[in-house]
Amino acid sequence: MRFGIKSAGAATAVVTCAAFLPAPAQAATAAGQARVIGDSVHVEAGRGAVNDVVLTGSGRTVTIDDRVAINPGPGCAAVPGDRTRVRCTTTEPLRWLYASLGDGNDRLIARTAARVFAEGGAGADRITGGSGRDSLHGDSGDDVLSGGRGADALAGGGGNDSLDGGRGDDILNADAGRDRLRGGTGRDLVYYGSRQAPVLVDLDGAEGDDGARGEGDSVGADVEDIIGGAGADRLIGNAAGNRIWGGGGNDHLAGGAGHDILVGQAGNDTLRGGAGDDHLIGERDSREQGKDNPRARDRLNGGTAARRGDICEAGPAATMVSCEIRRAR
């Protein structure tokens, strides 16, 4: 399974999370597996059971501790007297940890600076990343994902999930379900880019007013940036300096207070900077080989400038108001 984000122009981020160790169809409880491949350690937790996995890294060695038995593969050895604990040592400096939890209501905690790719699988899972740049995917079930200290990418999958980026500049992928998305410290982004239906995202921290109609997502006020989807979205910032991309559709983007960057992208969009020195950018139509679409009827309103003035960039068919600096696209 994969998840990712990609935005046009000013910002591009790609995140991938995969279940590197496929789980067979489950029946009775089976032991987990661990093995080393070059600079990475791969862990598949035992299926048919509730796993409680702790990954502890020290140098090139990772200790894997679970409540279910683990079979050591190449590069790994069982801890004497404990079938639920294995130590794995990479042949190169440790860079990656891949973990697949399986079908139960599992828990995983990473205590390592290596990058962690974790897949929750079925069940209501709790996954906590380490200090590295982690990619955590809950999959189905009502999952709780915590990014830890690195610049992390979190995706809940199906279910009513809770995502907390923690420290670092994090990406929160808003999937289906009634999700709670918190950025923590750092510059964080909530991603609705895969959506086809219109979404409302308001960075005011109110409970249950975000996402598609009736979805009931809650996006925290500690999130700074938004990427919208293909529908006619309403994306609203807060007092921080927000960066908002509309995606496809005829979107409404509002920056609020702060020095904001609003990018309409495809469609006839309305951009309102609000207070602060804002930068508003009209459509860039990828169907025209990356060139601006001169037919786009975007409406740009810079709002109240602070010191330098608002910058508005748009094509000849656009309307620009309260823009101290105007640039043709």
Calpha distance 17→98 (Å, rounded): 9
Q: How far is CA 307 from CA 260, 276, 278, 325, in A?
A: 14, 8, 10, 12
Burial code (b: 16+ CB inside 10 Å, e: under 16) for 304-317 equals ebeeeebbbbbbee
Q: How far is CA 123 from CA 30, 89, 144, 165, 312, in A?
A: 17, 30, 11, 21, 48
What is the full per-residue pLDDT of the chain (329 aa) written as tens digits? 333 434 444 333 334 443 334 444 444 578 999 999 999 999 999 988 899 999 999 999 999 999 999 999 999 999 999 999 999 999 999 999 999 998 999 999 999 999 999 999 999 999 999 999 999 999 999 999 999 999 999 999 999 999 999 999 999 999 999 999 999 999 999 999 999 999 999 999 999 999 999 999 999 999 999 999 999 999 999 999 999 999 999 999 999 889 999 999 999 999 999 999 999 999 754 444 345 566 779 999 999 877 889 999 999 999 999 999 999 87
Calpha distance 258→12 (Å, rounded): 22
Q: Model-level pTM?
A: 0.88
Calpha distance 304→161 (Å, rounded): 38
